[in-house]
A and B are shown apart, each in its own frame.
Chain A
Amino acid sequence: MIDLTWKIGGEAGYGIMSSGLIFAKAALRSGYFIYDLNEYPSLIRGGHNTYTVRISDGEIYSQVKPVNLLVALNQNAIDFHKDELSQGAALIVNTDKVDQEKIKISKGVNLFPVPLIKLAKEVDGKEIMMNTVAIGASMALLKGDFEVLTEVIKDFFKGKEKIEELNIKAAKLGFDFIKNNFNKIEFSFSLPKKNRDNGMLLTGNDAIALGAVKAGLKFFACYPMTPINSLLAYFAKQGPELKIVYIQPEDEISGINMAIGASFAGARSMVATSGGGFSLMTEAFGLAGITETPLVIIEGQRPGPATGLPTWGAQGDLRFVLHAAQDDFPRIVLAPGDPEECFWLTIEAFNLAEIYQAPAVILTDKHLGESHQSVADFEDSKAKIDRGFMLSKDDQLKEYKRYQFTENGISPRGIPGRKGFTFRANSDEHNEYGFSNEEAEVRKNQVEKRMRKMETLAKKIPNPNIYGPDKAEFTLIGWGSAKGPILEAQKALETENVKTNFLHLTYMNPFPSQFVADFLKGKKNVLMVEQNSTAQCAGLIRERTGITIKNHLLKYDGRPFFPEEIAEKVKELWK
């Protein structure tokens, strides 16, 4: 079985992210499963960047700790990552930046000194392409197919022939350097080309973008903020072709209000931001609630409060999103665990937002949003579009009540600008016609009507997934992006004959209270795994089921969970 982790580290500003992605795609196209992880500080030049690609011939769900092939572009990369190297690992050292004499690495690590800058300069006189040389060298060490790498580089720089040519040349120099200078390669990992289609290499953001297109997104407003920037770049570029309008608003307040306006007008609309931007959006979040305007909000979590750790990950906004904005109103909160779920839950969010005429939040985070995972092509023909109780043009000719009291709480929705009966959306409390009204009875009835929509939806949400046997010695619970590392931890524990099951939550509101209560009933060894400091989801479970989960594995340093940490915790608790 092949399970290899490749890592490249160096100074920010040298295109490490592009080279990492090129390498990951080359491995994907060689027929492997991929999970990657990039880490970068919140600055443009000078900081330490890394890109890690895990490659396997079996399904994988997250990063793991040991690094088997490290490309060190500078001394820092060695100092920071040498302890991550596994027995038998290979280390490609940039001899133009690192003094070989000073390298102190443990026994069992094989050193491959390569003059990356000297080789890069042979191509076009600049050192910027040293990353590409390193990718070529890596492919050679792994006995990979250079043709595959060539094709990936060609596609990556499509339309920029000169750059494409230079990069292929640089990669070839690195590839040949290894082939020509190391007769016997002491490195047991290899990536022979396999004949299987591994689909796409997607981040959570990519999957959300594809889901949104499929769902009929027509208007997207998004103020730049890590970690959702790749979403706005996608729609800024593809918008004209896909007939989707992307606007960069002056701030997040404007963005969400624009999206509410577009949705009121009848277009499926979305905003994306992180916790800080969502803080600015909260008043309008409530506006969508009281005016019953559908809206999809992507909230890519990162450590806070305020600016926090801008380029790192967290799951610290669950309580915030569940309670944001004053008073009660229906809100849908979904937390996908991987790109596949990002795609399907995005489509679901657009449907639910329109059916229940309410805002729907999708909680992701930096790691889910920006890490690539190999995903089979989506069977998108299975997707259904449901726009809920929308009036036809003819129905709108007759008098109707926009905020009519109904049994399930859902009122008829028209499109402004159509001939017929005019209506109004009102942020003031209003009567059934939408006219401002402060009578106690009207207020009471409207509050109850709105909240009834949540009761209606609560009866229809799917059960959460359980991974592993129904009955197991140990139970793990996680929500959103903790999914991958927990699945990997289960695999690791299984090899040690430790049987676990794992409850993964994706519907955070409405919450599958009864199911969770039934599932947890009588279970003694339960561990909650989440990326915040107060076990927010464990608190939510207690609130909704009365069940207290005593054991928590919490992480709030901005770094993702590693499966090793989770497996370790299980053993520490119960072995």
Chain B
Amino acid sequence: MEIDKFKTEEKVTWCQGCGNFGIWVALRQAFLELGWGPEDVLLVYGIGCHGHMINYLNNYGFDALHGRGLPLAQGAKLANKNLNVIVIAGDGDQFGEGGNHFIHAARRNLDITCIIHDNQIYGLTVGQTSPTSEKGFVTKSTPHGAPDQPVNPISLSLASEASFVARGFSGDVKHLTKLFVDGLKHKGFSVIDVLQPCVTLNHLNTFQYFFQRVYKLDEAGHNHNDKISAFTKSFEWGDKIPIGLFYKEERPILEELLPQLKPEEKSLVDQDIYNIEIKSLFEEFK
């Protein structure tokens, strides 16, 4: 199958039925639909179960530090504006360790996509509470129930000025693929928070739990150009959970605001550095 060109030979070590499989499939499908080859994409991974995907996807990859995928990806994008850059993050990775980077990457608005594997628990360290765990959630680190309000990835993204904000569900690969394609096509910082059940450690937010609750925003007539209604929808979490595109706006990306990255300029990585003239720079120091 053509989709297999995005797959490596490495053994997949996720638990059977893990929500990450849906994301893995949807991503490869999205690449295919966009007409991209393996070498057209750089994926930057955080640390967590999601990060293992570096071994399974045949693309350029960088397995970064816990929570630091976004800064690394922004640097790579600024250095090579022609590269398609995707960040694969986790909920603890992005909203715990990497919370500050998330806010600033969103407002900076580079043309990159941030996909959050949101399973509301720490998987790789075998079951502690996560920033997106529901209040009262019992884990190894919260045996008496998580005392904190969870982070709301959607409203946080909106408040941080992300220009494309969506939520997907890894139990609906077709819908997720569409969100990935739209997010990757979007010119600007796109966030896709993916509900991705941890079948081993999270016995609350299961596939079943989400199948019973999710509904699609576009089918419910949501206007994704309206930030106020996007905010309103972002707070909906209970018997009904909206998935799909919450908000999208077109605004200049950072690459367009920096004169040295204008379309007529070469990418930084393609510039000649062997013959740089600096004599003229001496003048201001005289």
Report A's interface with B, CB cutoff 8 A.
25, 28-29, 199-202, 206, 210, 213-216, 218-219, 221, 238-240, 242-245, 247, 249-251, 253-255, 257-269, 283-284, 287, 291, 377-378, 380, 385, 415-420, 422-428, 434-436
Contacts and interface: CB of A to CB of B under 8 A. Distances in A.
Nearest to A152: B286
Contacts of A378: 278, 282
Contact of A261 (B37, B71, B104, B278): B71
A467 to B, nearest CB: 26
Interface string B46-83: 01000010110011111111001011111111111011
A266 B61 contact: no
Contacts of B75: 219, 221, 257-265, 269
B63 A425 contact: yes
Contacts of B65: 257, 283-284, 287, 427
A422 to B, nearest CB: 5
A245 B78 contact: yes
B174 interface: no
B101 interface: yes
A25 to B, nearest CB: 8
A202 B284 CA distance: 10
Contacts of A215: 273
Interface of B: 8, 10, 37-40, 42, 44, 47, 52, 54-55, 58-65, 68, 70-80, 82-83, 100-101, 103-104, 258-261, 265, 268-269, 271, 273-274, 276, 278-279, 281-282, 285-286
B71 A253 contact: yes
Contacts of B268: 218-219, 243-245, 262, 267
A417 B39 contact: yes
**Leading 8 A-B pairs by shortest Cβ distance:** A216-B273, A261-B75, A258-B75, A424-B61, A257-B71, A266-B269, A416-B60, A261-B72
Contacts of B258: 239-240, 245
Contacts of A426: 54, 61-63
Given A199-B282, A416-B39, 16 more contacts: A206-B285, A210-B282, A213-B278, A240-B258, A250-B103, A253-B101, A254-B68, A257-B64, A265-B83, A266-B80, A380-B278, A416-B60, A424-B63, A435-B54, A435-B55, A436-B63
Contacts of A29: 286
B72 A257 contact: yes
Given A255-B71, A284-B65, A416 B285 contact: no
A266 to B, nearest CB: 4
Most A CB within 10 A of own CB, among B65, B72, B274, B279: B72
A262 B78 CA distance: 7
Question: Chain A binding site: helix, strand, loop or mixed by DSSP?
Answer: mixed
A459 to B, nearest CB: 26
Contact of A264 (B10, B76, B82, B279): B76
A434 B55 CA distance: 9
Nearest to A380: B278
Given A218-B273, A254-B104, A422-B39, A265 B281 contact: no
B10 A267 contact: no
A261 B273 contact: no
A210 B284 CA distance: 12
Contact of B38 (A25, A253, A422): A422
Nearest to B286: A200
Contacts, number: 194
17 contacts: A29-B286, A199-B282, A201-B285, A210-B282, A214-B278, A244-B260, A244-B268, A245-B79, A250-B104, A261-B72, A264-B76, A265-B80, A266-B80, A267-B80, A269-B75, A426-B54, A426-B63
B68 A253 contact: yes
Contacts of B78: 219, 245, 247, 258, 262
B71 A436 contact: no
A424 B61 CA distance: 4
Nearest to A219: B79
Contacts of A257: 64-65, 68, 71-72, 75
A380 B279 contact: yes
A381 to B, nearest CB: 9
B274 A216 contact: yes
Contacts of A287: 64-65, 68
Nearest to A419: B39
A258 B273 contact: no
B286 A265 contact: no
A3 to B, nearest CB: 22
A239 B265 CA distance: 13
B273 to A, nearest CB: 3
Contacts of B261: 245
B54 A417 contact: no
A253 B72 CA distance: 10
Contact of B282 (A25, A238, A264, A377): A377
Most A CB within 10 A of own CB, among B61, B103, B281: B281
Given A261-B71, A265-B42, A424-B60, A416 B76 contact: yes
B67 to A, nearest CB: 9
Contact of B276 (A28, A214, A260): A214
A415 to B, nearest CB: 6
Given A250-B101, A254-B71, A261 B76 contact: yes
A158 B149 CA distance: 56
A261 B100 CA distance: 18
Contacts of A415: 269
A240 B262 CA distance: 10
A243 B258 CA distance: 10
Contacts of A240: 258-260
A295 to B, nearest CB: 10
Most B CB within 10 A of own CB, among A213, A215, A239, A427: A427
B273 A28 contact: no
Contacts of B59: 422
A391 to B, nearest CB: 13
Most B CB within 10 A of own CB, among A201, A260, A423: A260
Contacts of A245: 78-79, 258, 260-261, 268
Most B CB within 10 A of own CB, among A219, A242, A250, A418: A250
Contacts of A210: 278, 281-282
A265 B76 contact: yes
B60 A422 contact: yes
Contacts of A249: 71, 104
